[in-house]
């Protein structure tokens, strides 16, 4: 079984990939591809080690040349992550480029019981990059398509919620389903009454200018005073603000919108990187607390989390 798990920065993709591997019988092998260049990389590596501590993983440090590994038949392999592996194979003097990545994945897939690959969405920020960076991005995009074609399951993780793009969710949880534009205004539900009873809390995410505010105010007919918009900017205005503290401050809002900011190439600015990470953690926390999570795509609402009691038809 081959699983490809993609998501933006701090979207919860690594945690979900770990859940997949932990649900399977056999040895749990974590292939770490990041090379520890600098204090920030060391800190990120330490954080990932802490997150998987006690979960039964055996770690294999392998920044490139996966064909050199000898997997066992009972291995459930987690490769973290594809962008680092691809960059190492592209820019290292000993690297073998995209062909080395694909042959390494094929080598492991032929023997191991399962392979789960974590990758990042680096393509949605519209930035202009130098030739080397552009080459790396194009190589990664091509790898995504080729691995996704071979994969049994492709999962996108959005603010901590896994959404099946191809196949099924390897770990059974919420499914990715299209909601009608008027889904939250069905005849059986009076949205205003639900708000008054403090029973309806909606989190709306999506790219910039995707229709989030319009959806809250016009489709849901939510009073503006009951909502909070573009909450990721609160973290930019107050870099010292604790994410958990902000979540508590927003707990009285019946609708919250937040623009997805974690996709794209990792920013050069340390402050921007920190803001993007905090925005991702904020999104995961808000989505976990919401009754309903809606993702806007070109003005179309996609419901990716339903309430425990399904009053939305």
Domain spans of the chain?
Answer: 2-166, 177-305
Tell me how far CA of residue 21 lies from CA of 113, 162, 288, in angstroms.
10, 15, 22
Q: What is the pLDDT of residue 192?
A: 55
In this structure, the number of other CB atoms found within 10 A of the CB of residue 101 comes to 30
Q: E strands of 38-113, at which residues? A: 57-61, 75-80
Q: What is the pLDDT of residue 195?
A: 58
Q: What is the pLDDT of residue 62?
A: 94
| Of 22-26, 196-200, 245-249, minimum mean pLDDT range | 196-200
Q: What is the pLDDT of residue 186?
A: 42
Mean pLDDT of the chain: 86
**pLDDT 10s digits, 229-258:** 999 999 999 999 999 999 999 999 999 999
Can you tell me the mean pLDDT for 262-276?
A: 88
Q: Domain 2-166 sits in which CATH superfamily?
A: P-loop containing nucleotide triphosphate hydrolases (3.40.50.300)
Q: What is the pLDDT of residue 127?
A: 73
Copy the structure tokens of residue 170.
């390897």
**pLDDT 10s digits, 83-131:** 999 999 998 999 999 999 999 999 999 999 999 999 999 887 767 788 8
- Tell me the pLDDT band of 309, cut-offs 50, 70 and 90: very low
Copy the structure tokens of residue 229.
């918009």
Q: What is the pLDDT of residue 299?
A: 86
Question: Is the predicted pLDDT of residue 203 greater than 60, yes or no?
Answer: yes
Question: How far is Cα 8 from Cα 96, in angstroms, rounded to an integer?
Answer: 26
Break the chain down into helix, strand, coil percent, rounded to 5: 40, 20, 40
- The class level of CATH for 177-305 reads alpha beta
Tell me how far CA of residue 267 lies from CA of 37, 171, 263, 276, in angstroms.
16, 32, 10, 9
Domains 2-166 and 177-305 share a fold: yes
C-alpha closest to that of 200 among 70, 114, 290, 66: 290
Question: Is the predicted pLDDT of residue 11 greater than 60, yes or no?
Answer: yes
Q: What is the pLDDT of residue 43?
A: 79
| Of 15-24, 124-133, 169-178, 244-253, minimum mean pLDDT range | 169-178
Residues 6+ apart with CB under 8 A from 17: 3, 5, 78, 80, 116, 117, 118
Query: Residue-wise over 53-67: b if at least 16 C-beta within 10 A, else e?
Result: eeeebeebebbbbbe
Q: What is the pLDDT of residue 308?
A: 47
Q: What is the pLDDT of residue 193?
A: 62
Q: What is the pLDDT of residue 187?
A: 35
Long-range residue pairs from 122-128, CB within 8 A, at least 24 positions apart, any chain: 122/83, 122/263, 122/264, 122/265, 123/263, 123/264, 124/8, 124/207, 124/260, 124/263, 124/264, 125/263, 125/264, 125/265, 126/264, 127/264, 127/265
C-alpha closest to that of 153 among 178, 174, 141, 171: 171
pTM of the model: 0.83
- Tell me the pLDDT band of 197, cut-offs 50, 70 and 90: low
Question: Is the predicted pLDDT of residue 41 greater than 90, yes or no?
Answer: no
Question: Is the predicted pLDDT of residue 176 greater than 80, yes or no?
Answer: no
**pLDDT 10s digits, 118-152:** 999 988 776 778 888 888 888 999 999 999 999 99
Per the model's pLDDT, the better-predicted residue between 162 and 174 turns out to be: 162
CB 7, CB 145: distance < 8 Å: no
Q: What is the pLDDT of residue 106?
A: 97
Cis before residue 313, ω within 30 degrees of 0? no
């Amino acid at each position: 079984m081959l699983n490809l798990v993609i998501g933006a920065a701090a979207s919860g993709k690594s945690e979900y990939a770990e859940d997949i591997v932990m649900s399977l019988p056999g040895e749990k092998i974590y292939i770490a591809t990041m090379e520890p260049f600098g204090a920030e990389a060391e800190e990120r590596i330490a954080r990932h080690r802490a997150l998987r501590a006690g979960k039964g993983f055996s770690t294999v440090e392998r920044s490139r040349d996966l064909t050199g590994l000898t997997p066992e038949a009972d291995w459930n392999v987690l490769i973290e992550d594809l962008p680092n592996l691809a960059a190492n194979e592209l820019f290292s003097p000993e690297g073998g480029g995209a062909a080395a990545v694909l042959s390494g994945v094929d080598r492991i897939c032929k023997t191991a019981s399962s392979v789960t690959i974590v990758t990042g969405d680096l393509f949605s920020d519209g930035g202009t990059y130098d030739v080397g960076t552009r080459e790396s991005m194009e190589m990664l995009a091509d790898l995504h398509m080729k691995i996704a074609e071979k994969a049994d399951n492709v999962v996108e993780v959005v603010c901590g919620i896994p959404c099946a793009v191809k196949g099924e969710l390897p770990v059974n949880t919420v499914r990715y389903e299209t909601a009608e534009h008027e889904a939250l205004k069905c005849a059986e539900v009076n949205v205003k009454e639900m708000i008054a009873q403090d029973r309806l809390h909606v989190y709306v995410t999506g790219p910039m200018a995707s229709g989030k505010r319009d959806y809250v105010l016009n489709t849901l007919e939510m009073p503006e005073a009951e909502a909070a918009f573009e909450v990721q900017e609160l973290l930019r205005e107050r870099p010292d603000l604790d994410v958990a503290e902000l979540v508590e401050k927003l707990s009285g809002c019946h609708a919250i919108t937040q623009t997805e900011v974690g996709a794209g190439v990792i920013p050069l600015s340390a402050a921007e990187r920190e803001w993007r990470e905090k925005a991702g953690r904020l999104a995961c926390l808000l989505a976990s607390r919401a009754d309903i999570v809606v993702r806007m795509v070109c003005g179309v609402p996609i419901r990716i989390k339903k309430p425990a009691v399904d009053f939305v038809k």
